Chains A and B, each alone.
Chain A
Amino acid sequence: MPKWLHLLFLPHPDNNHRASLLQPGTLALLIAVYLLNQSFISSLSTLRPGILGYSSEITAQKVLDLTNTQRQKNNLAPLVYNQLLEQSATAKAKDMFAANYWAHNSPGGKVPWDFFNAAGYEFTVAGENLARDFQDTDTMMRAWMNSPSHRSNIIHQKYQEIGIGVVNGILNGVKTTLVVQHFGTPLVPLVPQEVSTGTVLSAAPVTDLAPQIHPLINPLLLTQLVGGLLFGLILVVLVIDAWHTVNKGHHRLTGSTLGHMGFLLIIFLLLILTRQGTI
């Protein structure tokens, strides 16, 4: 093994019996490199959106498919896609970006039904599900199904129709994707023919209030991967350092290896267990 590698990862008299990777100077350098890498990811997301981007892979079609899959699992009829409900859902998402809020009721006093009415959708029963910050539809659907109130909307037996708004934009200064599901049952009941053929739809496009982005690589996952690898490496070197110290009995004036391991282990766990999205 080259000596510089040995000094970087293993205790040695030349590095004062402490792996260079664990010394403050090297760690400060790692922080600088990490920040540089994050700036690079961020810049690439903006300058070359085809490679990296903030927008999620969620589309209205995928949301509809998964919603109806859940309904079929519960022996319920699939929901029919309705363009008026799509308009109201998209309008709600745009309103949240415009007024910078994240709630069913807007700070200006608008309630979900106002969007249904504005789109011209007359209903007997209606409901709304919201989600933000999710990168993929499966994770978002799992989060909804794990929440009793959202789940009850998805598998509500009285709903016949659905419209979905997927809008990218900036909320509270953070680039994100908002997903709005509007459920309803029309005042004029659907005729059986409509119900049976209604699941075919022209998928609603993702609306971008910010520039259009179709990322190949998810920047959040890339960030978590780089961070996870970095912590994994430091943890391994700390374990080697602890083993070496115990065996060789070297006394050094350094921080507690056990303390560092505990702290980094918690951060590592939080990093890999951090779930995306809010509902």
Chain B
Amino acid sequence: MLKNLFRYPTEFFLLALLLGSSMVLYFVFGYSPQIRRYLICLSGLLYWGWSLYYHWRRGDLNLSILVEYLVFALLGVIVLLSSVI
């Protein structure tokens, strides 16, 4: 697992940047549930997009992996959306 982190540092840095920015923006826009909902959906989409890029770079991009990321992203988005009034 850590081997991949050192082999693809740029990709994982990009992921950390995407997720970190989403988290910061989530709190910055804490006053607006509507903007929070958009941010949650965008984060899920970005995570899925990152998986495309990461596995394309690794050379093992295939349908089953994309479905796996899609399901993880959906789970995160649905659970978080239901907690934002």
Contacts and interface: CB of A to CB of B under 8 A. Distances in A.
Interface of A: 23-24, 27-28, 30-31, 34-35, 38, 133, 174, 176, 220, 223-224, 227, 230-231, 234, 242, 245-246, 253-260, 262-264, 266-267, 269-271, 273-276, 278
Contacts of B71: 24, 27-28, 31
Interface of B: 1-2, 4-5, 12, 15-16, 19-20, 22-23, 26-27, 30-33, 43, 47, 50-51, 54-55, 60, 62, 64-65, 67-76, 78-80, 82-85
B19 to A, nearest CB: 5
A253 B54 contact: no
A255 B65 contact: yes
A278 B84 CA distance: 11
A274 B83 contact: yes
Nearest to B30: A275
Interface SS majority for chain B: helix
A31 B83 contact: no
Contacts of B32: 278
A227 B79 contact: yes
Contacts of B54: 256, 259
Contact of A255 (B72, B75, B79, B84): B72
A256 B78 contact: no
Contact of B1 (A24, A38, A223, A242): A242
A271 B84 CA distance: 9
B67 A263 contact: no
A273 B85 CA distance: 14
